[in-house]
Chain A
Amino acid sequence: MLIRKFLFYTLFLCLFLSFCSSEKVESGSTDTAMTKAEAQEIMNQIRKDKFDLILPQVMREHNIDMWIQVMRKGNPDPVSANLGSTSGVFIFTDRGEERIERAVFDHSSDLVRECGAYDIIAEPEIKIPLTDYPECRIPLRELYRAGGTEWPGGPKTELDFRFKAVGEFVAKRDPQRIALNYLEDLGSPIFYEFPRLRSDGISYTDYKLLVKALGTKYAKRIVSAEYLITDYLVRPVKSELVLFKKMRKLIEESFKRQFAEIVPGVTKFSDLEGSRSIVDKNGNRGRDDYVLQKGDLICLQGGCQSGCYLDPEWKFGNLYEVAFEYGYLSEGDTELPPKLKKAWADALKVRKIIEDNVKAGRTAGETFEILKRKIEEAGFIYVNRQIYNKDLDLEKTQVPLDMHAAGAGIYAPRIGPLGPDWQRDMILPLNHHFYLEYWVYVPMPEWGEGKYLSLQFHDGAIATESGVEYFYPPPLEIHLIK
């Protein structure tokens, strides 16, 4: 009997422990989670598609024969993920053929060599003067692979190698107009200098070195690549949309999981990784330690992985997705309270107006004017600021807009009031990828003077000639959490 019991307990214990360990391995995985290799494969495909389809378009539209993009690790550039390296001198040349020639000079990355998107990869050979040993030459890459070590110095510095062979390369192709990554006209929005979308580009030090390498003849032909880069970034390829669909699916799974985890009276606002805002049935806003209660309206925010802040390990650079969804903690009711129902209905009406009126081929500014008018005609009040105006008609919902271009690019074209005018002057290209970012502010005088209910949306969409299309459906309802 004792032996039987011992065996039974042992078996149970083994089962229990194996269950614990398998749970640990599986935790956190989802159907749509990507491995690093899968992520890299997707980015490679996007890179190739963009080079094949978008690059010839934008270079010819802007009458550019050569685009030189200079990037350094010490000067982060958000275009780096698109090209596959944080450093290097990338030279794209229109040699009159269908395909744009793609060359990379200076130290770049393994990815550049392995992705199959480049025709020419030329790295400088560093001459190492060794007094005790025969002089040897070693490619920079090999040196880094050997442990990233430094070797005894000499008269040269790293600055001497940055544009090695670039001068001859350019002269051989004799471009008439050379676009370089710096900015002249398309300045960033006021107060906006964060590197998420675009940096200033090439350093002045690098500019001087490049000019020296090119010589006066070609240096004179340099113009800013700002228009070209902006257009290159905002025109999506199919593979890019596949990635966004995948990202949106990840976010959706995360939302579902989080909504399912909510236990009224137990779950704290801060327990949810995507917690964005919470408002109770009396219009009071909750903070991090707030315990969710029945009657609350909770907004979850999902982005690439969690929250809207980019994970430093994010493999898609400036391609990212942010979305919001809402959940109502039911008090036993089978549908939303009337005011919430109205707010949601208003939100869908506004969405429909946007869907019908954002079309490729118009400028962002023209589209913005149409939307403002249509929103007013539908009985709403269009407001320029993302701030509720308590002095307006309490019967009417207020609607601000900021429908900027998706992840890649510097928010342009931008359908909305924010940002410099050039962002509104841009034409929405066919299949323009943008966010339906808008708010509905529903006045709630019953909560107190100046109180209102706010719903924010940020769903990725595509502008076609006939209107908006989605690569992933936007939320159709407020989740009812029982």
Chain B
Amino acid sequence: MKKKHKVLLGLRTPLLGFLALFLVLGFFTLFQTTAQAQEEDAISSVYDIKYEDINMKEWNKRIRQEEFDRILPQVMREHNVDMWIHVMRIANPDPFGAEELGSTSGVFVFTDRGDKRIERAVLGRRWGASHRGRREQGNLVEESGAYDIIYDPIRIQEPVGGPMSEYDYRFKGLKEFVEARDPKRIAVNFKHDLGPWVTYNRENDGISHTDYLLLTEELGIKYASRLVSSEYVMMDYIVKTVPSEIKLLKKMRKAEIEHIKKVFAQIVPGKTTDLEAGVTVFRRRSTGVSQRGRTKGYEKAVIQGGDIVTAECQGMYAYVLRKGETEPPPDIKKLWAEYLKIDKILADTIKSGLTPRELQKIHKRKFEEQGVILRDNQLHMVNPKNDFPVYAAGFDPEKTHLSIDAHGMEKGAHARKDENYFGPRIGSLGPDWSKNIPLPLNHHFVLEYFFYMPSPFSEDKDQYLFWWDHEEAIATPNGVEYLSSPQKELYLIH
């Protein structure tokens, strides 16, 4: 009995010890995790921007209204279209319809009835709540206040079957609607001329062939023979901006600048990574490796002295000082001056009303005058990638190479800004048709360009320093209007 006690006691002692040890370890782990979490929380990313003072839903509503009031009559009349039918099905994702028009299903019909205002109707099979009570499509159409005629959404509950299928209902009643308006030219969402660039493989083509057959069957020969592609109407509708949109973009930019300044201030060289801060880091790396960390295995970089930290979409740049440095070294200063020079030329020359083709000629001349070689391909993307010496052969080692891809941006009534390639595109990329579209008034685009500056101070064998800008801006008849004052001096991170 005594022995047993001893054994138990013998076990209890280390057991208590374990408990104590685990408590201590647990406390430390907890403390460490909490501290780490707090530390991680403290690093804010560029992407964390929340636009807290902006009621995006209300702004989008206003933009949609303005687009319908101002842009719709313009684009339909410019392209001699009396009726624009946009057919959407959930199975065929249509981001334009989902956000600009407000639904992923339905038949949206815009009719020019000769009045100032274009009539806006939402017909067809627009899905409402399911029998389970869910309304996955939302109520944007109803809430937008932008439509004159709205057919009720369809409650989704499969009925007992019969001879009819879904196809019998898709365009039911549309013929009467069209007949009553008797349009001469009807634009429908399919593509004819304005295809994407050659290697793009995610294009949404618009209406299915099945739907086209159903639509033409419903309309009958008279109206079916009046169908044309809506691609030009749609493109112009997307690329033209409205005043509230520009106002919103400036408001968003203000919030972005404040936020990014805070992010830059939080960066601790040697500790913060580019991913944590949501920034791009320009860094001299060895041949074959992306100078902005796009090569596999180089995506995550701890920010360090000598780096240029960028929020390129806002045109914000900071230099990270090395130990002992009080200002950027000469090659970085030269790089910054080169950026300001190139940006100024673009800001002065890109004007609404000009086509990208006209701009190409202007740019070639202007940049040549400034000793900059304007090139079609992006030097870092030519195979083998990021192998600059190969491609520098035969070129003047004193001259900067520049490649422009100032493509469109779209905000419209979308939840967030996005790149838009369906429209004018300044620079060498994009199909020829995108060079012939004049920049609309207040064209929303990005000053995207890459330049490669020879660097005599370089320690590595790459003789080019890379620069990338992707700043959103507006093209006016007088040149570029920035959404915020352009940065004049490199920020410094100590």
A positions within 8 Å CB-CB of B: 5, 8-9, 12-13, 72-76, 87, 107, 126, 130-133, 140, 143-144, 146-161, 182-184, 186-195, 199-208, 384-385, 414, 417-424
Contact = CB atoms under 8 A, between A and B. Distances in A.
Contacts of A194: 90-91
A205 B432 contact: no
Nearest to A127: B198
A151 B429 contact: yes
B20 to A, nearest CB: 10
B213 to A, nearest CB: 7
Among B90, B194, B203, B435, the one with the most A-chain Cβ atoms within 10 Å of its Cβ is B203
B434 A153 contact: yes
A200 B92 contact: yes
19 contacts: A13-B25, A72-B205, A131-B375, A131-B376, A147-B381, A150-B200, A152-B377, A153-B429, A157-B431, A182-B213, A183-B210, A191-B159, A191-B166, A193-B91, A202-B208, A203-B208, A204-B208, A206-B209, A420-B161
A469 to B, nearest CB: 27
A156 B14 CA distance: 79
B430 A158 contact: no
B99 interface: no
B38 interface: no
A432 B104 CA distance: 35
Among B91, B431, B434, the one with the most A-chain Cβ atoms within 10 Å of its Cβ is B91
A112 to B, nearest CB: 14
A322 to B, nearest CB: 16
B92 A75 contact: yes
Given A9-B21, A423-B161, A207 B201 contact: no
Contacts of B196: 157-159
A207 B212 contact: yes
A186 B210 CA distance: 11
B388 to A, nearest CB: 14
B160 A418 contact: yes
Contact of A154 (B105, B159, B432): B432
B197 A182 contact: no
A207 B17 CA distance: 77
- The 5 A-B pairs at the shortest CB distance, nearest first, are namely A187-B165, A157-B195, A187-B167, A159-B195, A203-B205
Contact of A193 (B90, B159, B212): B90
B91 A200 contact: yes
A277 B434 CA distance: 56
Contacts of B435: 153
Interface stretch (B150-158, B237-245, B462-470): B150-158
Contacts of B161: 189-190, 414, 417-421, 423-424
Given A190-B165, A199-B208, A204-B190, A73 B154 contact: no
A243 B434 CA distance: 49
A204 B206 contact: yes
B169 interface: yes
A204 B432 CA distance: 23
B209 A207 contact: yes
A146 B91 contact: no
A158 B195 contact: yes
Given A188-B166, A191-B166, A192-B166, A206 B205 contact: yes
B203 A190 contact: no
Interface string B355-368: 00000000000000
Contacts of A384: 160
A13 B164 CA distance: 70
- Contact residues on B (Cβ < 8 Å of other chain), bracket: 35 or more
Contacts of A150: 197, 199-200, 429
Nearest to B434: A153
A86 to B, nearest CB: 9
Contacts of B428: 152-153
B168 interface: yes
A189 B157 CA distance: 11
The prevalent SS among residues of B at the interface is loop
Contact of A191 (B154, B190, B208): B154
Given A193-B89, A193-B125, A204 B202 contact: no
Contact of B199 (A151, A201, A202, A419): A151
Among B159, B209, B429, B433, the one with the most A-chain Cβ atoms within 10 Å of its Cβ is B209
B162 A157 contact: no
A193 B136 CA distance: 14
Contacts of A5: 14, 17
A192 B163 contact: no
Contacts of B93: 74, 76
A12 B202 CA distance: 56
Contacts of B375: 131-132
A182 B209 CA distance: 7
A12 B25 CA distance: 13
B198 A190 contact: no
B33 interface: no
Nearest to B204: A74
A204 B211 contact: yes
A337 to B, nearest CB: 29
Contacts of B127: 191, 193
B207 interface: yes
Nearest to A402: B158
A73 B201 contact: yes
A71 B373 CA distance: 42
Given A75-B92, A75-B205, A182-B213, A189 B158 contact: yes
B134 interface: no
Interface string B160-194: 11111111110000000000000000000011101
A140 B199 contact: yes
Contacts of B92: 75-76, 195, 199-200, 203
Among A157, A189, A385, the one with the most B-chain Cβ atoms within 10 Å of its Cβ is A157
Given A150-B197, A160-B195, A200 B209 contact: yes
B209 A204 contact: yes
B27 interface: no
A76 B104 CA distance: 15
B18 interface: yes
Contacts of A206: 205, 209
A449 B74 CA distance: 63
A144 B200 CA distance: 10
A87 B196 CA distance: 16
Given A151-B377, A190-B158, 12 more contacts: A87-B201, A148-B199, A150-B429, A152-B377, A184-B210, A189-B161, A190-B159, A191-B166, A199-B208, A207-B209, A421-B161, A423-B161
A169 B289 CA distance: 42
A201 B210 contact: yes
B21 A13 contact: yes
B135 interface: no
A232 to B, nearest CB: 18
Among A74, A87, A148, A184, the one with the most B-chain Cβ atoms within 10 Å of its Cβ is A74
B394 to A, nearest CB: 9
Contacts of A201: 208-210
B385 interface: yes
A187 B18 CA distance: 69
Contact of A189 (B166, B210, B378): B166
Nearest to A189: B158
A147 B91 contact: no
Given A149-B381, A203-B190, A203-B205, A195 B212 contact: no
Contacts of A184: 210, 213
